[in-house]
Amino acid sequence: LNRGAAPRAALLALLATAWVVAAWLLWRSTVVPASVRLPHLDEHRYFSPSLLHQTATFGRFSVVSWVLSTVVELIALAVYARKGGRFARESAAGRLGTGMLLGMLGFALVWAVQLPFGVVDLWWQRRHHLTHTGYVTEIFGNWLALGGQFVFLCITLAIVMGLARKLPRLWWAAASPVFIGIALLFAFVNPYLLSTHRLHDPQLRAASLRLERIERVRHIPVVVEDVHDVTSLPNAEATGLGPSRRVVLWDTIVSEFTTREVTVVIAHELGHLAHNHIWKAIGWYALFAFPGTFLIARATRRRGGMASPQAVPLSLFILVALTIVAQPIQNAISRHMEAEADWAALQATRDPAGATALFRRFVPTTLDEPDPSTFEYVWLENHPTIMQRIAMAQAWRSRNAR
């Protein structure tokens, strides 16, 4: 047996144990009362057969499109991982610059192969009146965002390749904290990048103040983002850290939903903030960043390690593959937190009927399947299903009726 193998295995086991313990603690910090048992509900009692049929058709198409685009993306990146290194000769930018070029080309390739799927998805959503985005906007309108991704990618690669030069085997341990720091910065800055305005409805403003008090979160601005030009989908989010925290409601939800329903939405988003879900999400990100970067470091060793530009195409492939593999876990974590926010909203509003009405309205407005297949649930659902959310409202009612 190799003399160094045993200590390495022991260290690995120790680190794995530490990871599992940290993950368990983090998971346990997000809770819906254990005594809550969700009743089994029949979706046909809540939705008409034609609506269920429509959501099933819509969902099937979306799943097929997602599967195909994911497979094509992986194939494209696999080919690029194998042959992308040859583009190094198109660079006069030295080691770091060449790495950036190869990284950007990989991203550009992903964008190019996914563009047809994006257009088809858009066609599908337009057909169902879920979006007003034009095809030209879809193709050319996201270039600025793509440019932003390129800049972020270049910064990331500069950090990774710079550290890999100094710490060829341990760069991942040094890079992960840097990425966590960047994630924290983004989480803090994100609210300031959104174009929003104040919530004008006096009833909703009063409700949000009341809910803040109940959920013990203070001075959280509830603002509105105008998106009705591009989509009719309803949405809201809790965003920011510390002083940048706020609840953002899409104007589609404010204008189309009742005050009672929007109140539940605000309570749900405040629930995210009250239970520190953004901090916990960054915690989960940190937990995945260390093993993720470690695996990339291991896999790229045969290409000279991440200090070499030749390793960049392979690293992109591994990064995307790991992200896809981790998606069910990330979805499960997200669903766990969303369930807690739903419970917090029910506790704060004490309005299960309002919550049920809200969740029911989501189905015709988003064409989300109330009870999707297991495959969809595992790979694509980052919220509890509509039926689970209605069941939770029922469970709350039963629990508080005793």
Partner 1 sequence: MHVEHPVKLVVEDDLRRTRLTVFFRLILAIPLFIWLFLWSIAAFFAAIANWVGTLASGQPPEGLHRFLCKYVRFSAHVNAYLWLVANPYPGFVGEEGEYPIDIVLPAPTPQPRLTTFFRIFIALPALLLSTALGGAGGRFPASRGRRGTYSSSGGGALGLAVGVLGWFASLARGVMPKGLRDAGAYSVGYSAQALAYLLLITERYPNSDPTAMLEGVERPPVHPVHLVGDADDLRFSRVTVFFRLLLAIPHIVWLALWSVVAILAAILNWFATLFTGTPPAGLHRFLSRYVRYTLHVYAFLYLAANPFPGFVGEEGKYPLDLVLPGPTRQNRWKTGFRFFLAIPAWIVNSALGWGLAVAAFLTWFYALATGRAPWGLRNFSAYALRYAAQADAYVFLLTEAYPHASPLEGAASAPEPVPTPAPVPAPVDLPA
96 part of the interface to partner 1, by CB under 8 A = yes
Tell whether residue 91 is a contact of partner 1 (CB under 8 A). Answer: yes
Distance CA 168, CA 349 (A): 54
Q: Counting contacts by CB under 8 A, is residue 108 touching partner 1?
A: yes
| Residues in Cβ contact with 131 at an 8 Å cutoff, skipping those fewer than 6 apart | 122, 125, 230, 231, 232, 233
Nearer to partner 1, 110 or 333 (CB): 110
Report if residue 32 touches partner 1, rule: CB under 8 A: no
Residue range at the interface with partner 1 (CB under 8 A); choices 49-57, 99-107, 235-243, 261-269: 99-107
Among 147, 181, 304, 364, binds partner 1 (CB under 8 A): 147
Q: Does 101 bind partner 1 (CB under 8 A)?
A: yes
Is 305 or 309 the residue whose CB approaches partner 1 more closely?
309
Closest to partner 1 by CB, 145 or 325: 145
The number of angstroms, rounded, from the C-alpha of 106 to the middle of its chain's C-alpha atoms is: 22
Half-sphere exposure of 312 (CA within 13 A, CB side): 31
End-to-end CA distance of the chain: 64
Work out whether 151 is an interface residue with partner 1 (CB under 8 A): yes
Which residue in 104, 266, 281, 299 binds partner 1 (CB under 8 A)?
Answer: 104
Determine if 375 is a binding residue for partner 1 (CB under 8 A): no
Candidate list 24, 143, 192, 375; residue touching partner 1; CB under 8 A: 143
CA 143 vs CA 107, 114, 139: distances in Å: 12, 14, 8
Q: How many residues bind partner 1 (CB under 8 A)?
A: 20
Q: Write the DSSP assignment of 220-279 as a string of letters.
A: --EEEE--TTTB----EEEE-SGGG-EEEEEHHHHHHS-HHHHHHHHHHHHHHHHTTHHH
Which tokens belong to 105? 């080309």
CB of 192 to partner 1, least distance (A): 19
Residues 6+ apart with CB under 8 A from 118: 138
- The answer to whether 94 contacts partner 1 (rule: CB under 8 A) is yes
Residue 159 found at the interface with partner 1 (CB under 8 A): no
Binder of partner 1 out of 1, 92, 145, 193 (CB under 8 A):
92
Helix, strand, or coil (residue 131): strand
Strand-pairing partners, residue 250, are 225
**For residue 340, which of 253, 243, 271, 281 has the smallest C-alpha distance?**
271
Smallest separation, CB 300 to partner 1 (Å): 21
Which pair of tokens denotes residue 2? 């190799």
Question: 309 with 99: CB under 8 angstroms?
Answer: yes
Nearest residue (CB) to partner 1, 1 versus 92: 92
CB of 191 to partner 1, least distance (A): 23
Query: Between residues 105 and 265, which has the closer beta carbon with respect to partner 1?
Result: 105
Any contact of residue 344 with partner 1 (CB under 8 A)? Answer: no
Which residues of the chain form contacts with partner 1 (CB under 8 A)? 87, 90-94, 96-98, 100-101, 104-105, 108, 143, 146-147, 150-151, 154
